[in-house]
Structure 1
């Protein structure tokens, strides 16, 4: 099924209105999958466009400086796809770099033509980049040279998205076959920024792919208007009530001896009357735990005819007398 083009991708000029006075179309129709509804709102696209245009400007500077030739990155549009659908648009072979986006989960992907990646290596080695470039995986030396360029580009990517969320991207891997670039699950929704990229006399299409699920909360925060004072007070009061209630949540607490390791044979041969040596020192305190995490130490005691545990300093906190 089709629908008119939306603001998430640039629309070309529509056809002229018919002579009979019919309505003109806003743009060419595009495929729409109702099983995967649009998740990118206009506000999201606006926030992304500011960040991606800033990245394009900084990438242009980095490419021009490091390659010592005329270079350009220009944003063409921002789209939403499933990851499989995006990969289907890439040529094989292609130069693809996957990178982590800590502290967010998931991975990003930067893709551009392989001949332009090879030409970049040629430029950084002092060549003109005009010669025919081989369509093959890079050698170890070529990969190392290209990695220095990619690292600079990712630094500018993080700076461009600083107003959206703090990022510490790092290169995860380099691939040449789109089917092997596993930055996301095939059905995951990704945000694709399309660029026109030129290096010297070469020009091609570049793509920056980011997982929508990882950026959704940050995009919502960046796109929402500033809260009023009353809304801020309401949110702060809600946070205080939540913190107060968290202190009343019951948790299971255990007091235990030091863990003991036994062989599977000994464990299976245990019978009634056997004695299991705990090897817990007589003067060592017991461990007070919750969810297998030790948070205090105690010694056995009693209180009103009930067995109890008296909290004592941790063994490491007890200092030897001078």
Structure 2
């Protein structure tokens, strides 16, 4: 099918001194010139998103997959949705954009990913229009994961948190976009068996991108401290499951060497039980507690938690 598309041409920022301050604020996001717009931020966003998609597909069970970023183009929503079909479409509410972010993937790709996820080799079953319940759940989960990756790709440009609000095989249900709306389209091509040549497409309505000219860009120093949300979530979950040794010393009796050498079976060493005892975690002082009983077992009630060197 032939689509009407025009390439995006980079343009220079206005040279007039009176426009420099406004252009500086928006330079990471958008530049305007006579006859059109350029979106310099989207190049680095696409590079990061391509890496994130590669890692996501690999984590689903295809460790050898690469993702190649193809060229960007502009086209109408009607042309884009027709060229993507048959596809799964994901729509995200993504403020501060004044419109949605759209993702699309060929429906056979979803069927192959489901097969791999459940232990198969990515074999493609007979083509069908309807998805099973398991495939619909997988498509929704994949959409949420891609939304997190998209947010991470934008993080050093704009504080955008895409929220998935629609998953459908029918582009007519993407009601937030009209047929003649112009989209800025980025394509990501999967390389390697069994997905060779499959494509995931990200589309931004041009009106939404033009609307972020006045948005505040996120400082790079802040972005440097941020990490991939999926990686951070997995790390936090793993850390929460780590088991640490918790110990408390109830008594430290002292006796002379003479008495120690004279001890025999049946002898008794008297203990003086303190009111408060220390509690350590992995060898480090953690808290102070008092000795008692809970549910028929000896127990320690935490009365005070120690502060660290930074009072944390």
RMSD of the TM alignment (CA)? 2.9
Offset, 1:174: 1.7
Give the alignment's TM-score, normalised by structure 1: 0.52
Instruction: Choose the corresponding residue for 1:164, options 144, 154, 157.
Output: 157
Give the alignment's TM-score, normalised by structure 2: 0.54
Alignment-derived partner of residue 127 in structure 1: 120
Alignment-derived partner of residue 116 in structure 1: 109
**After the TM superposition, which residues 210-249 of structure 1 pair with which residues of structure 2 at under 5 Å, given as runs?**
210-218=204-212
The alignment status of 1:74 with 2:68, answered yes or no, reads yes
Return 5+ residue gaps in structure 1 as ranges. 10-36, 224-322
Give the Cα–Cα distance (whole angstroms) in 1 for the partners of residues 65 and 179 of structure 2: 33
Return 5+ residue gaps in structure 2 as ranges. 11-33, 218-312
Give the Cα–Cα distance (whole angstroms) in 2 for the partners of residues 125 and 218 of structure 1: 41
Give the Cα–Cα distance (whole angstroms) in 1 for the partners of residues 140 and 68 of structure 2: 22
Give the Cα–Cα distance (whole angstroms) in 1 for the partners of residues 192 and 133 of structure 2: 22
Give the Cα–Cα distance (whole angstroms) in 2 for the partners of residues 111 and 199 of structure 1: 20
Instruction: Choose the corresponding residue for 2:89, options 83, 96, 99.
Output: 96
**Contact residue 47 and residue 219 of structure 1 kept, 8 A:** no
Give the Cα–Cα distance (whole angstroms) in 1 for the partners of residues 162 and 5 of structure 2: 36
**Contact residue 116 and residue 199 of structure 1 kept, 8 A:** no
Instruction: Choose the corresponding residue for 1:175, options 148, 153, 168.
Output: 168
Give the Cα–Cα distance (whole angstroms) in 2 for the partners of residues 204 and 106 of structure 1: 27
Give the Cα–Cα distance (whole angstroms) in 1 for the partners of residues 162 and 57 of structure 2: 18
**Contact residue 5 and residue 74 of structure 2 kept, 8 A:** no
Instruction: Choose the corresponding residue for 2:77, options 64, 80, 83.
Output: 83
**Contact residue 87 and residue 179 of structure 1 kept, 8 A:** no
Task: Name the count of aligned residue pairs.
Answer: 190
Give the Cα–Cα distance (whole angstroms) in 2 for the partners of residues 57 and 47 of structure 1: 16
